[in-house]
Amino acid sequence: MIIDKGDKMALTAKSGQTVIVRLEINPKAKRLVLRLDERKREAVAIAPSQRKLSEAAGFARDRVDWLAAQLSALPDALPLTPGNVFNLRGQPCQISLEGPGRRAVLETEGDRVLRVPGAVETADKRVVRFLRGEAQNDLSAAVEKYCQQLGVSVRKVTIKDTRSRWGSCTSDGRLAFSWRLIMAPPSVLDYVAAHECAHLLEMNHSPAFWAHVARCRPDWKTQRGWLRQHGRMLQAVGT
């Protein structure tokens, strides 16, 4: 049997749970890696090359019980549909279709309500569009602040929907962030912005890099801990 990237396996754990494993190739990987795709509720086995894919498949088979336990521990998916409540900047916010006009409006007096008038079938898309815009605004402001503090410049700030990283930095000064950070407390969003700005000085995670982060966010360990504890909750929203 020839195994190729993108192939999927259905494995059965001792508990009887079925675990779907997707096979991928990442030339930058130095070893076999297993991770979760929280939104698709499946596992991913990563190999550094095509010839290592069979080993990655075996690696997943040997650890199917661990994968099953990790998938079972994922938070429930939270669709961005009318009536549901999600966190916006760390505070509960309810989605409503009621409102004048066609533009999304955020009400912050009293209970937070995000009004997205229009068809119920496309409400989730309107919510995400609004959140991406808010994320662009907040992250651009945070990046500008920390770039000034560190004495660096950025070429572009892009908002994406990444699964494995909250932010990234290229060698030519382009920063990218997950829009889902807008759901986290503002201090957490600020930490990720400072983290990527520090990469404009150090493209690594050396002591010098963390010193730059600490200049911007002395409490960075607390914010990183929040992401490690609650990051899966952010990934479960809108799925």
pTM for the model stands at 0.84
- In this predicted model, what pLDDT tens digit does every residue of 59-104 receive, in sequence order? 999 999 999 999 999 998 999 999 999 999 999 999 999 988 888 9
Q: For residue 166, which of 141, 144, 199 has the smallest C-alpha distance?
A: 199
Is 45's pLDDT higher than 50? yes
CATH dotted code for 85-235: 3.30.2010.10
Residue ranges covered by each domain of the chain: 8-72, 85-235
Q: What is the mean pLDDT of the chain?
A: 94
Tokens describing residue 80 = 């961005």
3-state helix, strand, coil in the chain (%, to 5): 40, 25, 35
- In this predicted model, what pLDDT tens digit does every residue of 103-148 receive, in sequence order? 899 999 889 999 999 999 999 999 999 999 999 999 999 999 999 9
Q: For residue 35, which of 56, 12, 11 has the smallest C-alpha distance?
A: 56
* Mean predicted confidence (pLDDT) in 30-45: 91
Cα(first)–Cα(last) distance of the chain, in Å? 33
- In this predicted model, what pLDDT tens digit does every residue of 187-226 receive, in sequence order? 999 999 999 999 999 999 999 999 999 999 999 999 999 9
CB neighbours of residue 163 within 10 Å: 15
